[in-house]
A and B are shown apart, each in its own frame.
Chain A
Amino acid sequence: MSTLLVLLPIAMLVAGMPIFLILLATALVALAFVLHVPLVGAPQMMFGSIDKFSLLAVPFFIFAGEIMSQGGVSERLIRWVQSLIGGVRGSIALTTVGTCEVFGAISGSSPATVAAIGRTMYPALRAGGYSDTFALGLLTSGGAIASIIPPSILMILYGAAAEQSVAKLFIGGVLPGILIGLLMAAYIIVYARSRNLAPTERFSWLRLAQTTRQGIWALAAPVIILGSIYGGICTPTETAGIACVYGILVGRFVYREITWRRVFELAGSAAYLTAQIMIIVAASGVFSWLLTISGVPQAIVQFIQEMKITPVMLLFAINVLLLVVGCFIDPSSAVLVLTPLLVPIVRLAGIDLVHFGIIVTVNLSIGMFTPPFGLNIFVSQGLFKAPMSTIVRGVVPFLLIQIAALMIITYVPWLSLYLGQFTK
């Protein structure tokens, strides 16, 4: 029976059944027929798993991201970053990375960032002489930065599953997010020089002043989001809700690019995306209950203890596992299923759980654009009507860059923990 309970869920996963259904079905069968526990606790576990104030940040940040990308905020951010980076070879591609960093401070979703930035930057990159392969690779992989720069949906889910402060995780993502951006920028400069791409018009203070004035409301969004969290004014969840109101006011009354009807439609679509992610949170609550009762995490911890694995080797093994998992399973599900299993092992090895949260986030955000099943690849395919083979060839250099960054982030905890010292 126990073997069946391991093999059957794997078979169901491979067959493509929904993850929430696999978690619920496995947990209910094991609790009822193996452990003989009354199932009446299952709905209470589900209720308790989603009735967490910190998780309310998920629908709020999804909604805020949708509102800001459709309400004219992303366009103005692009123009501002463009005016900031002028006169260097590769400036259009550098603008793309820079905008991903800034937009990442509003949106916590990687595919949403690819869509928001890609619509404007893809034609600009092609017109600037960049090959189709390079442009597609850059846009598909650049969106991953949004999952690492705060706010981040993945960090909120990890924080709930590992019982860690979301604010500390958010601040922990800042330096790793900047590191990835810098490594990508270095590659872009080398690429642009080797292809002798023409630089764009020179930097001018006048143009920067103009784009700053035009985009002041858009630029204020990341300042409000990060400022209110780290100024101790609001919790991340409250800030996410305020960002929604700000996005609606700016998109509706300042830029006048969205109607009330569109606001309502976007709320519906954000609620739909929330249900897709959070029903797995509910199901994983029942699954975690099963794991706790059956003593699986303790057994894994004991096994690892007996193996006498060093923290360095353990982190390497977990990185390989997460990179492989990230190729096949969406990051939200992977965080929710693996965190309860990995946290006891990592804690035992003396690894900081905020640092580990950043490693998990960076790792799974790489999975978002890893061929052949990364979600961003399908977003790019749909958005730019590009063949899959071109996108896959394009992401390879960026994949290698981000794996190199992941290794640095894994073995230099300072990057993830330094800024956290200054938060309450």
Chain B
Amino acid sequence: MMQRLVRMVSGLVGALLLVAVAINFSNVFGRYLLDMPIFWAEEGMGFIQIAIVVIGAALVARDNAHLKMDAVEHFMPAALKRWVDVATAALTVVVALVIVWMASDVVMQMVQNDQRSMAMELPLAIPYSIFPLGFSLIALFALARLVRLLSRKK
């Protein structure tokens, strides 16, 4: 189940990047050769970039591969290292859930006020929903890691 979700998310971020490349190319091509630029290109690619970053960050959290200073980590006793891993996973769950909570509030406000983007006039609640979605995934993957770490024998 979790493996399928990971494969799906992984395929999704790769496909989103290819879509952004295609929009960019069509925009430049349209501007110079057809005199018809895509007026929503920059805005659309910006939203795609947000999705790549926030949803992709969940994959990185799953692999425990977020950028960090690992200079001291190499010299840590195994027991201490394990507790740091547990604390990292637990803190990730807490922080991600706070962001989910706050971002959901923002999305609700945007729905109520019917706020829309400048170029596409897309309801802003849609791109902003990426935050609750992506950070829910980050919390889910970090929780799975926490459970794995705690159930592993010392």
**Residue ranges of A at the interface with B (Cβ–Cβ < 8 Å):** 13-21, 24-25, 28, 39-40, 42-44, 46-47, 50-53, 55-56, 59-60, 63, 233-234, 237-238, 241-242, 244-245, 263-265, 267-272, 274-282, 327-330, 332-333, 372-373
A327, closest chain B residue (CB): B71
Residues of A within 8 A of B50 (CB): 47, 50-51
Which of A14, A233, A264 is B18 in contact with, Cβ under 8 Å? A264
Q: State whether the Cβ of B70 lies closer than 8 Å to any Cβ in chain A.
A: yes
Contact B88 A21 (CB under 8 A): yes
Residues of B within 8 A of A24 (CB): 95, 99
Which of B14, B25, B60, B128 is A245 in contact with, Cβ under 8 Å? B25
8 Å CB interface, B7-43 against A = 10-11, 13-18, 20-21, 24-25, 27-28, 32, 42
Residues of A within 8 A of B20 (CB): 56, 59-60, 241
Which of B10, B17, B70 is A59 in contact with, Cβ under 8 Å? B17
A385 CB → nearest B CB, Å: 19
Contact A271 B56 (CB under 8 A): yes
Which of B45, B67, B70, B103 is A332 in contact with, Cβ under 8 Å? B67
List 29 A–B pairs whose Cβ atoms lie within 8 Å, in order of A's numbering.
A15-B73, A18-B68, A19-B69, A20-B57, A21-B66, A21-B88, A25-B91, A28-B95, A39-B98, A39-B102, A40-B106, A42-B102, A43-B102, A47-B127, A52-B46, A53-B45, A56-B24, A59-B49, A63-B21, A268-B11, A274-B52, A275-B13, A275-B57, A276-B66, A282-B53, A327-B71, A330-B67, A373-B70, A373-B71
Contact A17 B72 (CB under 8 A): no
Q: Given A43-B128, A47-B131, A275-B57, does the pair A268, B25 have CB atoms closer than 8 Å?
A: no
Name 6 extra pairs, CB < 8 A, besides A275-B54, A275-B60. Answer: A15-B72, A16-B84, A18-B67, A53-B46, A276-B57, A328-B69
Contact B66 A20 (CB under 8 A): yes
Number of interface residues of B (CB under 8 A): 54
Alpha-carbon distance A43/B135, docked complex (angstroms): 11
A286 CB → nearest B CB, Å: 9
Residues of B within 8 A of A242 (CB): 24-25, 28
Residues of B within 8 A of A333 (CB): 67
Which of B21, B54, B65, B99 is A42 in contact with, Cβ under 8 Å? B99
Q: State whether the Cβ of B59 lies closer than 8 Å to any Cβ in chain A.
A: yes
8 Å CB interface, B61-119 against A = 65-73, 76, 84, 87-88, 91-92, 95, 98-99, 102-103, 105-106
Contact A16 B70 (CB under 8 A): yes
Contact B17 A25 (CB under 8 A): no
A13 CB → nearest B CB, Å: 5
Alpha-carbon distance A332/B53, docked complex (angstroms): 15
Alpha-carbon distance A28/B46, docked complex (angstroms): 25
